[in-house]
Structure 1
Amino acid sequence: MPIILDHQLQEQIPHDSSTFPITFYCDELADLPNRAGPVHWHPYFEIATSQSSVLDFQVGQTHTILEPGDSIFINQNMLHGIRQLSGVKPDRFPNIVFSGTVVAPETSTIYRKYIRPILACNSLPFVVFRHDNDLWDEVRQWIRTTYFAMQEQPDCYEMTVQRSICCILETIFRNFDSLPKSNASRVQLNTQIRLQKMLSYIYENYAQRITLADIAGAAHISRSEAGRCFQSYLGCSPVEELIKYRLQTAKRLLHETTLTLQEISFACGFHSVNYFSRQFRKRYGYSPTNARIG
Protein backbone atom coordinates (compact mmCIF):
# COMPACT_ATOMS: atom_id res chain seq x y z
CA MET A 1 0.00 0.00 0.00
CA PRO A 2 1.53 3.38 -0.99
CA ILE A 3 2.07 6.29 1.38
CA ILE A 4 -1.03 8.52 1.36
CA LEU A 5 -0.28 12.19 2.01
CA ASP A 6 -2.78 14.99 2.21
CA HIS A 7 -2.07 18.53 1.00
CA GLN A 8 -0.28 19.30 4.28
CA LEU A 9 2.08 16.32 3.93
CA GLN A 10 0.27 14.48 6.68
CA GLU A 11 0.28 10.73 6.17
CA GLN A 12 -3.26 9.48 6.32
CA ILE A 13 -4.58 6.25 7.79
CA PRO A 14 -7.18 5.06 5.25
CA HIS A 15 -10.78 5.81 6.23
CA ASP A 16 -11.73 2.13 6.30
CA SER A 17 -9.24 1.69 9.15
CA SER A 18 -10.92 4.22 11.42
CA THR A 19 -12.41 1.53 13.65
CA PHE A 20 -9.00 -0.17 13.94
CA PRO A 21 -6.58 2.75 13.51
CA ILE A 22 -3.44 1.06 12.21
CA THR A 23 -2.10 0.60 8.71
CA PHE A 24 0.65 -1.72 7.48
CA TYR A 25 2.99 -0.73 4.65
CA CYS A 26 5.63 -2.76 2.84
CA ASP A 27 7.73 -2.58 -0.34
CA GLU A 28 7.30 1.20 -0.59
CA LEU A 29 10.94 1.88 -1.47
CA ALA A 30 10.63 -0.07 -4.73
CA ASP A 31 8.23 2.58 -6.08
CA LEU A 32 10.07 5.66 -4.80
CA PRO A 33 12.61 7.62 -6.90
CA ASN A 34 16.17 6.80 -5.84
CA ARG A 35 14.67 4.65 -3.05
CA ALA A 36 14.03 7.78 -1.01
CA GLY A 37 10.72 8.63 0.65
CA PRO A 38 9.26 12.13 0.88
CA VAL A 39 9.71 14.10 4.07
CA HIS A 40 6.31 14.11 5.75
CA TRP A 41 4.59 13.98 9.14
CA HIS A 42 1.47 12.63 10.79
CA PRO A 43 -0.31 12.81 14.16
CA TYR A 44 0.32 9.10 14.75
CA PHE A 45 3.03 6.77 15.99
CA GLU A 46 5.13 4.89 13.45
CA ILE A 47 7.36 1.84 13.68
CA ALA A 48 9.60 0.85 10.77
CA THR A 49 12.25 -1.83 10.24
CA SER A 50 15.25 -2.30 7.98
CA GLN A 51 15.22 -5.88 6.74
CA SER A 52 18.18 -6.28 4.40
CA SER A 53 19.81 -2.91 3.76
CA VAL A 54 21.37 0.10 5.43
CA LEU A 55 18.84 2.92 5.66
CA ASP A 56 19.20 6.60 6.49
CA PHE A 57 16.17 7.53 8.59
CA GLN A 58 15.76 11.26 9.13
CA VAL A 59 13.65 12.47 12.05
CA GLY A 60 13.62 16.24 12.37
CA GLN A 61 17.22 17.30 11.80
CA THR A 62 18.69 14.02 13.02
CA HIS A 63 19.86 11.32 10.63
CA THR A 64 19.95 7.82 12.12
CA ILE A 65 21.48 4.83 10.37
CA LEU A 66 19.42 1.65 10.53
CA GLU A 67 21.23 -1.60 9.86
CA PRO A 68 19.43 -4.82 8.87
CA GLY A 69 17.31 -5.93 11.81
CA ASP A 70 17.10 -2.48 13.41
CA SER A 71 13.69 -0.92 14.04
CA ILE A 72 12.71 2.65 14.87
CA PHE A 73 9.74 4.14 16.72
CA ILE A 74 8.77 7.68 15.64
CA ASN A 75 6.64 9.91 17.80
CA GLN A 76 3.71 11.94 16.50
CA ASN A 77 4.05 15.12 14.41
CA MET A 78 7.74 14.63 13.64
CA LEU A 79 8.99 15.45 10.16
CA HIS A 80 10.67 12.30 8.87
CA GLY A 81 11.89 10.67 5.70
CA ILE A 82 13.76 7.57 4.55
CA ARG A 83 16.57 6.82 2.09
CA GLN A 84 18.16 3.48 1.27
CA LEU A 85 21.96 3.62 1.31
CA SER A 86 22.95 0.06 0.34
CA GLY A 87 21.67 -3.08 -1.27
CA VAL A 88 21.06 -4.14 -4.86
CA LYS A 89 17.34 -4.64 -4.32
CA PRO A 90 14.92 -2.25 -2.61
CA ASP A 91 14.54 -3.05 1.08
CA ARG A 92 11.07 -4.37 1.91
CA PHE A 93 11.00 -1.82 4.76
CA PRO A 94 7.87 -3.00 6.63
CA ASN A 95 6.29 -0.33 8.81
CA ILE A 96 3.10 0.47 10.66
CA VAL A 97 1.39 3.81 11.27
CA PHE A 98 -1.05 3.76 14.15
CA SER A 99 -2.96 5.78 16.70
CA GLY A 100 -2.57 5.20 20.43
CA THR A 101 -6.29 4.50 20.45
CA VAL A 102 -5.56 1.09 18.95
CA VAL A 103 -4.66 0.19 22.55
CA ALA A 104 -7.25 2.18 24.50
CA PRO A 105 -9.70 5.09 24.00
CA GLU A 106 -8.45 8.61 24.64
CA THR A 107 -10.85 8.92 27.57
CA SER A 108 -9.46 5.84 29.31
CA THR A 109 -7.06 5.69 32.24
CA ILE A 110 -4.64 3.59 30.18
CA TYR A 111 -4.40 6.26 27.47
CA ARG A 112 -4.08 9.11 29.95
CA LYS A 113 -1.44 7.44 32.18
CA TYR A 114 0.72 5.60 29.65
CA ILE A 115 0.17 6.77 26.07
CA ARG A 116 -0.36 10.50 26.38
CA PRO A 117 2.98 11.09 28.21
CA ILE A 118 4.81 9.56 25.25
CA LEU A 119 2.82 11.57 22.72
CA ALA A 120 3.36 14.79 24.65
CA CYS A 121 7.12 14.35 25.04
CA ASN A 122 8.78 16.68 22.52
CA SER A 123 12.17 15.50 23.76
CA LEU A 124 11.48 11.93 22.60
CA PRO A 125 11.19 12.24 18.81
CA PHE A 126 12.21 8.61 18.21
CA VAL A 127 13.58 5.43 19.77
CA VAL A 128 15.86 2.98 17.94
CA PHE A 129 15.63 -0.73 18.72
CA ARG A 130 19.05 -2.07 17.68
CA HIS A 131 19.25 -5.68 16.51
CA ASP A 132 22.27 -6.34 18.73
CA ASN A 133 20.83 -4.81 21.94
CA ASP A 134 19.38 -7.51 24.19
CA LEU A 135 17.21 -4.92 25.95
CA TRP A 136 14.97 -4.76 22.89
CA ASP A 137 14.74 -8.50 22.07
CA GLU A 138 11.09 -8.77 23.10
CA VAL A 139 10.18 -5.48 21.44
CA ARG A 140 11.61 -6.64 18.12
CA GLN A 141 9.63 -9.88 18.42
CA TRP A 142 6.41 -7.98 19.10
CA ILE A 143 7.13 -5.80 16.08
CA ARG A 144 7.59 -8.87 13.86
CA THR A 145 4.40 -10.37 15.27
CA THR A 146 2.52 -7.16 14.44
CA TYR A 147 3.83 -7.07 10.86
CA PHE A 148 2.86 -10.70 10.29
CA ALA A 149 -0.61 -10.25 11.77
CA MET A 150 -1.30 -7.10 9.75
CA GLN A 151 -0.08 -8.65 6.52
CA GLU A 152 -1.65 -12.10 6.81
CA GLN A 153 -4.70 -11.15 8.92
CA PRO A 154 -5.34 -14.58 10.47
CA ASP A 155 -8.25 -15.18 12.84
CA CYS A 156 -8.28 -12.70 15.74
CA TYR A 157 -5.38 -10.75 14.21
CA GLU A 158 -6.71 -7.48 15.65
CA MET A 159 -6.31 -8.83 19.17
CA THR A 160 -2.78 -10.03 18.38
CA VAL A 161 -1.88 -6.58 17.04
CA GLN A 162 -3.44 -4.74 19.96
CA ARG A 163 -1.63 -6.98 22.45
CA SER A 164 1.74 -6.58 20.72
CA ILE A 165 1.50 -2.80 20.41
CA CYS A 166 0.39 -2.55 24.03
CA CYS A 167 3.54 -4.44 25.04
CA ILE A 168 5.75 -2.20 22.86
CA LEU A 169 4.31 1.00 24.33
CA GLU A 170 4.51 -0.45 27.84
CA THR A 171 8.22 -1.18 27.36
CA ILE A 172 8.84 2.35 26.10
CA PHE A 173 6.96 3.76 29.07
CA ARG A 174 8.82 1.57 31.59
CA ASN A 175 12.16 2.68 30.14
CA PHE A 176 11.03 6.26 29.58
CA ASP A 177 13.43 7.93 32.02
CA SER A 178 16.49 6.10 30.70
CA LEU A 179 15.78 6.65 26.98
CA PRO A 180 18.02 9.22 25.21
CA LYS A 181 16.24 12.55 24.99
CA SER A 182 16.66 15.31 22.44
CA ASN A 183 15.42 18.60 23.81
CA ALA A 184 14.24 20.61 20.83
CA SER A 185 14.45 24.34 21.33
CA ARG A 186 11.58 26.67 20.56
CA VAL A 187 13.55 27.81 17.51
CA GLN A 188 13.77 24.22 16.21
CA LEU A 189 10.06 23.64 16.76
CA ASN A 190 9.21 26.88 14.97
CA THR A 191 11.51 25.93 12.11
CA GLN A 192 9.75 22.60 11.69
CA ILE A 193 6.33 24.27 11.63
CA ARG A 194 7.54 26.77 9.05
CA LEU A 195 9.02 24.02 6.91
CA GLN A 196 5.76 22.07 7.05
CA LYS A 197 3.88 25.12 5.78
CA MET A 198 6.33 25.73 2.94
CA LEU A 199 6.45 22.09 1.87
CA SER A 200 2.66 22.02 1.88
CA TYR A 201 2.65 25.06 -0.38
CA ILE A 202 5.08 23.41 -2.80
CA TYR A 203 3.06 20.19 -2.95
CA GLU A 204 -0.18 22.10 -3.55
CA ASN A 205 1.12 24.57 -6.13
CA TYR A 206 4.04 22.88 -7.94
CA ALA A 207 2.19 23.03 -11.27
CA GLN A 208 1.98 26.84 -11.09
CA ARG A 209 4.65 29.50 -11.42
CA ILE A 210 6.23 29.69 -7.96
CA THR A 211 8.90 32.05 -6.75
CA LEU A 212 11.08 31.90 -3.66
CA ALA A 213 9.02 34.77 -2.28
CA ASP A 214 5.85 32.71 -2.73
CA ILE A 215 7.31 29.78 -0.81
CA ALA A 216 8.58 32.01 2.00
CA GLY A 217 5.24 33.80 2.11
CA ALA A 218 3.48 30.53 2.91
CA ALA A 219 5.22 30.61 6.29
CA HIS A 220 5.19 34.42 6.62
CA ILE A 221 8.98 34.64 6.73
CA SER A 222 11.71 36.25 4.63
CA ARG A 223 13.35 34.54 1.68
CA SER A 224 16.63 34.24 3.56
CA GLU A 225 14.91 32.63 6.55
CA ALA A 226 13.14 30.22 4.20
CA GLY A 227 16.53 29.24 2.81
CA ARG A 228 17.86 28.57 6.31
CA CYS A 229 14.85 26.38 7.16
CA PHE A 230 15.32 24.18 4.10
CA GLN A 231 19.09 23.95 4.52
CA SER A 232 18.84 22.95 8.17
CA TYR A 233 16.36 20.12 7.55
CA LEU A 234 16.73 19.08 3.91
CA GLY A 235 20.19 20.30 2.93
CA CYS A 236 18.92 22.17 -0.12
CA SER A 237 17.28 25.43 -1.10
CA PRO A 238 13.49 25.90 -1.41
CA VAL A 239 13.75 26.17 -5.19
CA GLU A 240 15.86 22.99 -5.38
CA GLU A 241 13.20 21.14 -3.37
CA LEU A 242 10.51 22.50 -5.70
CA ILE A 243 12.38 21.29 -8.78
CA LYS A 244 13.03 17.89 -7.18
CA TYR A 245 9.34 17.41 -6.45
CA ARG A 246 8.35 18.52 -9.95
CA LEU A 247 10.79 15.99 -11.44
CA GLN A 248 9.56 13.20 -9.17
CA THR A 249 6.01 13.93 -10.28
CA ALA A 250 7.07 14.04 -13.92
CA LYS A 251 8.82 10.69 -13.62
CA ARG A 252 5.67 9.13 -12.20
CA LEU A 253 3.56 10.60 -15.04
CA LEU A 254 6.00 9.24 -17.63
CA HIS A 255 5.45 5.73 -16.28
CA GLU A 256 1.73 5.94 -15.55
CA THR A 257 0.28 8.03 -18.39
CA THR A 258 0.53 8.51 -22.15
CA LEU A 259 0.80 12.29 -21.91
CA THR A 260 3.33 13.91 -24.24
CA LEU A 261 6.56 15.38 -22.90
CA GLN A 262 5.15 18.85 -23.43
CA GLU A 263 1.97 18.01 -21.53
CA ILE A 264 3.94 16.51 -18.65
CA SER A 265 6.34 19.43 -18.63
CA PHE A 266 3.51 21.95 -18.30
CA ALA A 267 1.58 19.81 -15.82
CA CYS A 268 4.63 19.81 -13.53
CA GLY A 269 5.34 23.51 -13.66
CA PHE A 270 8.05 23.51 -16.34
CA HIS A 271 7.15 25.95 -19.08
CA SER A 272 9.93 24.84 -21.40
CA VAL A 273 10.29 21.25 -22.59
CA ASN A 274 14.01 21.78 -23.20
CA TYR A 275 14.55 23.06 -19.64
CA PHE A 276 12.49 20.17 -18.26
CA SER A 277 14.56 17.65 -20.22
CA ARG A 278 17.86 19.18 -19.07
CA GLN A 279 16.79 19.14 -15.42
CA PHE A 280 15.47 15.59 -15.72
CA ARG A 281 18.71 14.31 -17.23
CA LYS A 282 20.73 16.20 -14.63
CA ARG A 283 18.85 14.52 -11.78
CA TYR A 284 18.34 11.00 -13.12
CA GLY A 285 21.18 10.58 -15.60
CA TYR A 286 18.94 9.85 -18.59
CA SER A 287 16.36 11.65 -20.69
CA PRO A 288 12.58 11.69 -20.10
CA THR A 289 12.16 9.72 -23.32
CA ASN A 290 14.44 6.95 -22.04
CA ALA A 291 12.56 6.95 -18.74
CA ARG A 292 9.36 6.17 -20.58
CA ILE A 293 11.00 3.44 -22.68
CA GLY A 294 12.47 1.86 -19.54
Structure 2
Amino acid sequence: MSIVLDHQLREQIPPDILDFPVAFYSDELADLPDRAGPVHWHPYFEIATAQSGVLDYQVGQTHIRLEPGDSIFVNQNMLHGIRQLSGAAPDPLPILVFSGTVVAPEHSAVYRKYIQPVLGCSTLPFVVFRHDSDLWQAVRQQIHRACDAMRERPACYELTVQRSLCSVLEAIFRHLDSLPPLPSSRVQLTAQIRLQKMLSYLYEHYAQPVTLADIAAAAHISRSEAGRCFQAYLGCSPVEALIQYRLQRAWRMLQETDMTQQEISLACGFHSVQYFRRQFRKRYGCAPGEKRKLGK
Protein backbone atom coordinates (compact mmCIF):
# COMPACT_ATOMS: atom_id res chain seq x y z
CA MET A 1 0.00 0.00 0.00
CA SER A 2 1.36 3.41 -0.95
CA ILE A 3 1.28 6.49 1.24
CA VAL A 4 -0.78 9.18 -0.48
CA LEU A 5 -0.65 12.77 0.70
CA ASP A 6 -3.38 15.30 0.20
CA HIS A 7 -2.61 18.89 -0.79
CA GLN A 8 -1.95 19.73 2.85
CA LEU A 9 0.69 16.99 3.23
CA ARG A 10 -1.62 15.00 5.45
CA GLU A 11 -1.73 11.31 4.70
CA GLN A 12 -4.90 10.18 3.02
CA ILE A 13 -5.49 7.25 5.33
CA PRO A 14 -7.54 4.46 3.69
CA PRO A 15 -11.30 4.69 4.39
CA ASP A 16 -11.38 1.27 6.05
CA ILE A 17 -9.25 2.66 8.89
CA LEU A 18 -12.59 3.77 10.33
CA ASP A 19 -13.50 0.10 10.76
CA PHE A 20 -10.06 -0.93 12.03
CA PRO A 21 -7.95 2.14 12.89
CA VAL A 22 -4.58 0.84 11.65
CA ALA A 23 -2.88 1.32 8.27
CA PHE A 24 0.28 -0.47 7.13
CA TYR A 25 2.82 0.69 4.55
CA SER A 26 6.02 -0.89 3.25
CA ASP A 27 8.59 -0.47 0.47
CA GLU A 28 7.79 3.23 0.09
CA LEU A 29 11.41 4.33 -0.29
CA ALA A 30 11.81 2.33 -3.51
CA ASP A 31 9.35 4.64 -5.27
CA LEU A 32 10.57 7.92 -3.81
CA PRO A 33 13.19 10.11 -5.54
CA ASP A 34 16.53 9.95 -3.72
CA ARG A 35 14.86 7.53 -1.27
CA ALA A 36 13.48 10.53 0.59
CA GLY A 37 9.90 11.41 1.45
CA PRO A 38 8.41 14.89 1.91
CA VAL A 39 7.83 16.31 5.37
CA HIS A 40 4.16 15.84 6.28
CA TRP A 41 1.84 15.26 9.24
CA HIS A 42 -1.35 13.43 10.21
CA PRO A 43 -3.59 13.12 13.30
CA TYR A 44 -2.41 9.57 14.08
CA PHE A 45 0.43 7.82 15.85
CA GLU A 46 3.16 6.38 13.62
CA ILE A 47 5.71 3.62 14.18
CA ALA A 48 8.45 3.03 11.60
CA THR A 49 11.31 0.53 11.60
CA ALA A 50 14.67 0.58 9.81
CA GLN A 51 15.40 -2.91 8.53
CA SER A 52 18.45 -2.91 6.26
CA GLY A 53 19.65 0.66 5.79
CA VAL A 54 20.56 3.67 7.89
CA LEU A 55 17.76 6.22 7.93
CA ASP A 56 17.42 9.88 8.84
CA TYR A 57 14.00 10.32 10.46
CA GLN A 58 13.12 13.97 10.91
CA VAL A 59 10.55 14.91 13.55
CA GLY A 60 10.00 18.64 13.82
CA GLN A 61 13.48 20.16 13.76
CA THR A 62 15.14 17.04 15.16
CA HIS A 63 16.93 14.50 12.97
CA ILE A 64 17.13 10.97 14.40
CA ARG A 65 19.54 8.41 12.97
CA LEU A 66 17.95 4.98 12.79
CA GLU A 67 20.23 1.96 12.45
CA PRO A 68 18.91 -1.39 11.16
CA GLY A 69 16.63 -2.81 13.84
CA ASP A 70 15.75 0.57 15.38
CA SER A 71 12.12 1.69 15.53
CA ILE A 72 10.61 5.10 16.19
CA PHE A 73 7.23 6.14 17.59
CA VAL A 74 6.00 9.55 16.35
CA ASN A 75 3.23 11.39 18.16
CA GLN A 76 0.21 12.75 16.34
CA ASN A 77 0.31 15.95 14.24
CA MET A 78 4.11 16.11 14.30
CA LEU A 79 5.88 17.23 11.14
CA HIS A 80 8.01 14.30 10.05
CA GLY A 81 9.90 12.97 7.04
CA ILE A 82 12.30 10.19 6.11
CA ARG A 83 15.49 9.87 4.09
CA GLN A 84 17.71 6.83 3.60
CA LEU A 85 21.36 7.62 4.31
CA SER A 86 23.00 4.31 3.35
CA GLY A 87 22.23 0.82 2.15
CA ALA A 88 22.61 -0.92 -1.19
CA ALA A 89 18.86 -1.29 -1.72
CA PRO A 90 15.86 0.76 -0.58
CA ASP A 91 15.00 -0.09 3.01
CA PRO A 92 11.63 -1.91 3.25
CA LEU A 93 10.70 0.52 6.07
CA PRO A 94 7.51 -1.05 7.48
CA ILE A 95 5.27 1.70 8.90
CA LEU A 96 2.23 1.46 11.14
CA VAL A 97 -0.10 4.45 11.23
CA PHE A 98 -2.84 4.09 13.82
CA SER A 99 -5.32 5.80 16.09
CA GLY A 100 -5.37 5.42 19.86
CA THR A 101 -8.92 4.14 19.39
CA VAL A 102 -7.39 0.77 18.46
CA VAL A 103 -7.09 0.37 22.25
CA ALA A 104 -10.42 1.90 23.34
CA PRO A 105 -13.04 4.42 22.15
CA GLU A 106 -12.28 8.09 22.69
CA HIS A 107 -15.14 8.54 25.13
CA SER A 108 -13.97 5.64 27.33
CA ALA A 109 -12.20 5.88 30.67
CA VAL A 110 -9.37 3.68 29.29
CA TYR A 111 -8.70 6.15 26.47
CA ARG A 112 -8.75 9.16 28.80
CA LYS A 113 -6.48 7.44 31.34
CA TYR A 114 -3.86 5.88 29.07
CA ILE A 115 -4.00 7.31 25.53
CA GLN A 116 -4.80 10.97 26.14
CA PRO A 117 -1.71 11.53 28.32
CA VAL A 118 0.52 10.23 25.51
CA LEU A 119 -0.97 12.16 22.60
CA GLY A 120 -1.38 15.25 24.78
CA CYS A 121 2.22 15.24 26.01
CA SER A 122 3.93 18.30 24.52
CA THR A 123 7.37 17.02 25.57
CA LEU A 124 6.98 13.69 23.75
CA PRO A 125 7.22 14.28 20.00
CA PHE A 126 8.81 10.85 19.51
CA VAL A 127 10.33 7.81 21.21
CA VAL A 128 13.20 5.77 19.73
CA PHE A 129 13.39 2.04 20.41
CA ARG A 130 17.03 1.11 19.84
CA HIS A 131 17.85 -2.38 18.61
CA ASP A 132 20.50 -2.85 21.30
CA SER A 133 18.36 -1.63 24.22
CA ASP A 134 17.17 -4.31 26.64
CA LEU A 135 14.55 -1.87 27.90
CA TRP A 136 12.72 -1.87 24.57
CA GLN A 137 13.28 -5.49 23.51
CA ALA A 138 9.70 -6.53 24.25
CA VAL A 139 8.36 -3.41 22.50
CA ARG A 140 10.32 -4.15 19.34
CA GLN A 141 8.98 -7.70 19.33
CA GLN A 142 5.43 -6.38 19.55
CA ILE A 143 6.08 -3.96 16.69
CA HIS A 144 7.40 -6.78 14.50
CA ARG A 145 4.41 -8.93 15.41
CA ALA A 146 1.98 -6.17 14.45
CA CYS A 147 3.74 -5.51 11.13
CA ASP A 148 3.80 -9.21 10.25
CA ALA A 149 0.09 -9.52 11.03
CA MET A 150 -0.81 -6.46 8.92
CA ARG A 151 1.36 -7.70 6.06
CA GLU A 152 0.13 -11.31 6.01
CA ARG A 153 -3.39 -10.82 7.40
CA PRO A 154 -3.95 -14.31 8.82
CA ALA A 155 -7.15 -15.27 10.63
CA CYS A 156 -7.89 -12.89 13.53
CA TYR A 157 -5.00 -10.61 12.52
CA GLU A 158 -6.85 -7.57 13.88
CA LEU A 159 -6.77 -9.02 17.39
CA THR A 160 -3.03 -9.69 17.08
CA VAL A 161 -2.38 -6.12 15.93
CA GLN A 162 -4.60 -4.68 18.64
CA ARG A 163 -2.81 -6.64 21.38
CA SER A 164 0.61 -5.66 20.05
CA LEU A 165 -0.12 -1.95 19.73
CA CYS A 166 -1.81 -1.97 23.13
CA SER A 167 1.44 -3.38 24.58
CA VAL A 168 3.52 -0.69 22.84
CA LEU A 169 1.31 2.12 24.12
CA GLU A 170 1.29 0.60 27.60
CA ALA A 171 5.10 0.56 27.64
CA ILE A 172 5.23 4.22 26.57
CA PHE A 173 2.66 5.18 29.19
CA ARG A 174 4.52 3.31 31.95
CA HIS A 175 7.76 5.13 31.07
CA LEU A 176 6.16 8.51 30.38
CA ASP A 177 7.71 10.14 33.46
CA SER A 178 11.18 8.66 32.88
CA LEU A 179 11.50 9.37 29.15
CA PRO A 180 13.81 12.32 28.43
CA PRO A 181 11.58 15.34 27.80
CA LEU A 182 11.93 17.12 24.48
CA PRO A 183 10.10 20.38 25.13
CA SER A 184 9.28 22.75 22.32
CA SER A 185 9.42 26.45 22.98
CA ARG A 186 6.53 28.73 22.10
CA VAL A 187 8.68 30.06 19.25
CA GLN A 188 9.19 26.55 17.84
CA LEU A 189 5.49 25.70 18.11
CA THR A 190 4.56 28.94 16.38
CA ALA A 191 7.10 28.28 13.61
CA GLN A 192 5.71 24.78 13.04
CA ILE A 193 2.14 26.06 12.74
CA ARG A 194 3.28 28.72 10.31
CA LEU A 195 5.20 26.17 8.26
CA GLN A 196 2.17 23.88 8.10
CA LYS A 197 0.08 26.74 6.75
CA MET A 198 2.68 27.63 4.14
CA LEU A 199 3.22 24.03 3.10
CA SER A 200 -0.53 23.59 2.74
CA TYR A 201 -0.62 26.59 0.40
CA LEU A 202 2.48 25.55 -1.50
CA TYR A 203 1.28 22.02 -2.17
CA GLU A 204 -2.21 23.11 -3.12
CA HIS A 205 -1.03 25.72 -5.63
CA TYR A 206 2.20 24.13 -6.93
CA ALA A 207 0.80 23.90 -10.49
CA GLN A 208 0.15 27.64 -10.57
CA PRO A 209 2.55 30.61 -10.52
CA VAL A 210 3.62 30.96 -6.88
CA THR A 211 5.84 33.68 -5.41
CA LEU A 212 7.63 33.98 -2.09
CA ALA A 213 5.13 36.68 -1.14
CA ASP A 214 2.25 34.27 -1.83
CA ILE A 215 3.78 31.59 0.41
CA ALA A 216 4.46 34.04 3.25
CA ALA A 217 0.94 35.48 3.00
CA ALA A 218 -0.52 32.02 3.66
CA ALA A 219 0.83 32.28 7.22
CA HIS A 220 0.36 36.07 7.50
CA ILE A 221 4.08 36.67 8.01
CA SER A 222 6.88 38.52 6.22
CA ARG A 223 8.95 36.96 3.48
CA SER A 224 12.04 36.99 5.70
CA GLU A 225 10.19 35.17 8.50
CA ALA A 226 8.91 32.62 5.96
CA GLY A 227 12.49 32.02 4.91
CA ARG A 228 13.56 31.45 8.52
CA CYS A 229 10.78 28.89 9.07
CA PHE A 230 11.72 26.89 5.98
CA GLN A 231 15.42 27.00 6.78
CA ALA A 232 14.81 25.85 10.36
CA TYR A 233 12.70 22.82 9.41
CA LEU A 234 13.61 21.97 5.82
CA GLY A 235 17.05 23.49 5.34
CA CYS A 236 16.04 25.36 2.20
CA SER A 237 14.16 28.45 1.06
CA PRO A 238 10.40 28.44 0.35
CA VAL A 239 11.02 28.73 -3.38
CA GLU A 240 13.50 25.84 -3.28
CA ALA A 241 10.92 23.75 -1.41
CA LEU A 242 8.37 24.56 -4.12
CA ILE A 243 10.75 23.47 -6.88
CA GLN A 244 11.59 20.27 -5.01
CA TYR A 245 7.93 19.37 -4.68
CA ARG A 246 7.24 20.16 -8.33
CA LEU A 247 10.09 17.83 -9.27
CA GLN A 248 8.76 15.11 -6.95
CA ARG A 249 5.38 15.37 -8.66
CA ALA A 250 7.07 15.19 -12.05
CA TRP A 251 9.03 12.10 -10.93
CA ARG A 252 5.75 10.38 -10.07
CA MET A 253 4.13 11.40 -13.36
CA LEU A 254 7.03 10.03 -15.36
CA GLN A 255 6.57 6.68 -13.60
CA GLU A 256 2.79 6.50 -13.55
CA THR A 257 1.53 8.28 -16.69
CA ASP A 258 2.17 8.50 -20.42
CA MET A 259 2.08 12.30 -20.42
CA THR A 260 4.69 14.05 -22.52
CA GLN A 261 7.47 16.06 -20.88
CA GLN A 262 5.77 19.23 -22.10
CA GLU A 263 2.50 18.17 -20.43
CA ILE A 264 4.24 17.18 -17.21
CA SER A 265 6.19 20.43 -17.15
CA LEU A 266 3.00 22.49 -17.38
CA ALA A 267 1.11 20.28 -14.93
CA CYS A 268 3.86 20.76 -12.35
CA GLY A 269 4.04 24.54 -12.65
CA PHE A 270 7.25 24.97 -14.67
CA HIS A 271 7.18 27.88 -17.08
CA SER A 272 9.07 26.00 -19.81
CA VAL A 273 10.02 22.42 -20.59
CA GLN A 274 13.66 23.45 -20.98
CA TYR A 275 13.73 24.87 -17.44
CA PHE A 276 12.00 21.74 -16.16
CA ARG A 277 14.62 19.51 -17.80
CA ARG A 278 17.51 21.57 -16.34
CA GLN A 279 16.06 21.47 -12.83
CA PHE A 280 15.28 17.75 -13.09
CA ARG A 281 18.85 16.89 -14.18
CA LYS A 282 20.30 19.18 -11.50
CA ARG A 283 18.21 17.47 -8.81
CA TYR A 284 18.34 13.82 -9.90
CA GLY A 285 21.42 13.58 -12.11
CA CYS A 286 19.54 12.40 -15.20
CA ALA A 287 17.17 13.76 -17.82
CA PRO A 288 13.40 13.17 -17.46
CA GLY A 289 13.46 10.88 -20.49
CA GLU A 290 16.21 8.76 -18.95
CA LYS A 291 14.23 8.42 -15.73
CA ARG A 292 11.14 7.30 -17.64
CA LYS A 293 13.11 4.58 -19.44
CA LEU A 294 14.64 3.37 -16.16
CA GLY A 295 11.25 3.45 -14.45
CA LYS A 296 9.63 1.32 -17.10
Instruction: Give TM class, smaller chain.
Output: over 0.9
Give the match for residue 225 of structure 1: 225
Give the match for residue 119 of structure 1: 119
Give the match for residue 58 of structure 1: 58
Give the match for residue 213 of structure 1: 213
> Shift of the alpha carbon at 1:264?
1.1
Give the match for residue 202 of structure 2: 202
> Shift of the alpha carbon at 1:290?
1.5
Give the match for residue 283 of structure 2: 283
The within-5 A match list for 1:254-273 is: 254-273=254-273
**Residues 118-150 of structure 1 deviation map (CA, whole Å, 9 limit, x = unaligned):** 000111000000000000010000001100111
> Shift of the alpha carbon at 1:7?
2.1
**Residues 173-231 of structure 1 deviation map (CA, whole Å, 9 limit, x = unaligned):** 11111101111011111111111111111111111000000011111111000000000
Q: Structure 2 CA distance, aligned partners of 1:47 and 1:70?
A: 11
1:143 aligned to 2:143? yes
Q: Structure 2 CA distance, aligned partners of 1:97 and 1:209?
A: 34
Q: Structure 1 CA distance, aligned partners of 2:257 and 2:165?
A: 40
**Residues 241-282 of structure 1 deviation map (CA, whole Å, 9 limit, x = unaligned):** 000111111121122222222111111111111111111111
Matched to 1:212, the amino acid is L
- Alignment coverage as a number of residue pairs: 294
Contact 1:22 1:99 in 2 (8 A): yes
Give the match for residue 44 of structure 2: 44
Give the match for residue 153 of structure 2: 153
Percent identity, aligned pairs only?
A: 72
> Shift of the alpha carbon at 1:293?
2.1
Q: Structure 2 CA distance, aligned partners of 1:93 and 1:24?
A: 11
**Residues 8-44 of structure 1 deviation map (CA, whole Å, 9 limit, x = unaligned):** 2111321122111100111010011100011000111
Q: Structure 2 CA distance, aligned partners of 1:86 and 1:198?
A: 31
**Residues 137-177 of structure 1 deviation map (CA, whole Å, 9 limit, x = unaligned):** 10000001100111111111111111111111111111111
1:192 aligned to 2:154? no
Give the match for residue 251 of structure 2: 251
Contact 1:13 1:21 in 2 (8 A): no
RMSD: 0.8
1:73 aligned to 2:73? yes
Secondary structure of the residue aligned to 2:177 is: helix
Give the match for residue 95 of structure 1: 95
Matched to 1:96, the amino acid is L
> Structure 1 stretches (4+) deviating beyond 4 angstroms?
none
Q: Structure 2 CA distance, aligned partners of 1:224 and 1:92?
A: 39
Give the match for residue 168 of structure 2: 168
**Normalization by structure 2: what TM-score?**
0.98
Matched to 1:94, the amino acid is P
Matched to 1:196, the amino acid is Q
Secondary structure of the residue aligned to 2:83 is: strand
Matched to 1:10, the amino acid is R
Task: Give unpaired runs (5+ residues) of structure 1.
Answer: none
Q: Structure 1 CA distance, aligned partners of 2:289 and 2:36?
A: 22
Matched to 1:98, the amino acid is F
Give the match for residue 21 of structure 1: 21
**Normalization by structure 1: what TM-score?**
0.98
> Shift of the alpha carbon at 1:60?
0.2
